[in-house]
Amino acid sequence: MAMTFFEKELKKLVDQGLPLTDTAFVGRACYGKIEGNLRARMEFVSPKYANQYSAIKVTIFNKKEGPIDSVLLRFSDVLGIKKVENLNFKDGLVPYIWANGGKTEWYVYKPKEADYKLLAKEVGSYMALFAEEEMNQTSVLKEMSL
């Protein structure tokens, strides 16, 4: 079965070197193993407007005990305002995914490789907070070559 738009976008983040193994992509979410019983779920969310996915929610959970913590990484905070050629957005715009009329895509601004790396760095830093000493934040970031 072909991957959905959301699944493809999450895979681009995982491919940046996130500390996840045994990943599974389901709908707007990606699940993966950090270590031991620690798992992570990343999912695109629309915190402000319906069908405008402007953030990634990352949840850390223990496979046996449930959720431990979660964070909402807004594209406005991580990526900021991006300049575009579209005259309707002279000051630029914050990237977001728009689902409309059965079509899902980035609205006006398409993220660059550097944008995916930056998002992955933020997600990886968060995941590293919950990993054991041997996989601390420094080693995760070094592993991600950032």
Q: Which residues contact 89 (CB under 8 A, 6 or more apart)?
A: 108
Mean pLDDT of 121-125: 96
Residue 131, both tokens: 């990993």
Helix (H/G/I), strand (E/B), else coil: 5 = helix
Burial class (CB in 10 A: 0-12, 13-18, 19+), 70: middle
pLDDT tens string 51-105: 999 999 999 999 999 999 999 999 999 999 999 999 999 999 999 999 999 999 9
Write down the pTM of the prediction.
0.86
Print the domain residue range for 65.
5-143
Domain count, the chain: 1
134 has pLDDT over 60: no
